[in-house]
Amino acid sequence: MTESAPRYTFVDVHSYRNEDPKLHQALVESAVECFRLAFNDDPFLKWIHGGALPSPKLVDEYYRTWILYTQSIPRSVCAMVNQPPDVPLDASSVEVVAAIISFPPGYHAEVPPSIGAAFGFLGFIVQSLFRDPVVVKRALIETGRLTDKALSKNLGKSKDKLYFVHSIGTKTGHQGAGLGNKVLADLLDRADKDGLPCFLTSSSAKNLSFYRRLGFEEREVIMHFDKEKTKPYTVMVRPATKP
């Protein structure tokens, strides 16, 4: 019995930035849509918007800003596209069905990776302050503070020597096909070769078993996202392995 041909293709999104700008833009926009659909029910998005889902436009701008923020960082945005590896990528039809935004060692810091990234991020903050200041306060300020505190508590002096998973999602209709495993495998392989830990936070309890299967351990559950302390924010670490 022969194995079926691969249906999906792994891509490093920003590798096309200079090679094929049109394809790069198409991949970015498709990844933005993928994240929006993947997190459509996520309690974190509801929390940052004060209890209701923010507009699709605001969600798109949030993920687009982060994707473009990382475009000078190698292998920071990787994806699975819905076509076999032997089919050339076409900007007019490419579809991202799973994606990850991550930061390799040394990049998860307060200093932006490029001038363009700094201006793009600042623009998002200014626009959001006028349209939805709650999002800026909760998504950037409060979440950033909690994340930095968790990094220091769980990794101490090694908090800058790690692989940081910012976002990972699989598009509705493609979940259950193991695409999350595949899109995360590249980062985990690099972390293992470098002998470094991986760090992430999860706002959805239903995703915890997925991360456990990949070697992540639950380190703490933060319950003070609001006055009622009802929004769990699980800190997970995948310990370093010897290279």
The H or E element that residue 146 is part of is helix 143-155
- Model pTM? 0.89
Can you give the CATH number for the domain in which 16 is found?
3.40.630.30
3 domain residue, yes or no: no
Number of domains in the chain: 1
- CA-to-CA distance for 186 and 222, rounded, in angstroms? 29
**CA 104 and chain centroid, separation:** 12
172 domain residue, yes or no: yes
**From residue 145, how far is each of 13, 140, 216 by CA, in Å?**
29, 8, 22
110 domain residue, yes or no: yes
- Enclosing domain of residue 192: 9-238
Three-state DSSP class for residue 164: strand
Q: Which residue reads 């505190």 in tokens?
A: 149
pLDDT at 47: 65
66 domain residue, yes or no: yes
Parallel, antiparallel or unpaired: strands 198-202 and 163-170: parallel
| 192 close to 60: Cβ distance less than 8 angstroms | no
58 domain residue, yes or no: yes
- CA-to-CA distance for 219 and 237, rounded, in angstroms? 7
| 198 close to 209: Cβ distance less than 8 angstroms | no
- CA-to-CA distance for 149 and 171, rounded, in angstroms? 31
- CA-to-CA distance for 162 and 237, rounded, in angstroms? 10
109 domain residue, yes or no: yes
209 domain residue, yes or no: yes
CA atoms within a 13 Å half-sphere pointing along the CA-CB vector of 241: 11
219 domain residue, yes or no: yes
Helix axes 56-69, 115-131, angle to 10 degrees: 160
Three-state DSSP class for residue 90: coil
Q: Residue 7: CB partners within 8 Å, gap ≥ 6? A: 82, 83, 84
Where would I find the beta strands (DSSP E) of the chain?
9-12, 77-81, 96-103, 163-170, 198-202, 217-222, 233-238
Q: What is the pLDDT along the chain (243 residues), one digit of tens a residue?
A: 444 556 899 999 999 999 999 999 999 999 999 998 888 777 666 666 566 666 788 888 889 999 999 999 989 999 999 999 999 999 999 999 999 999 999 886 667 788 888 888 888 888 877 777 777 777 777 778 888 888 888 888 777 789 999 999 999 888 888 999 999 999 999 999 999 999 999 888 888 999 999 999 999 987 655 555 556 789 999 999 876
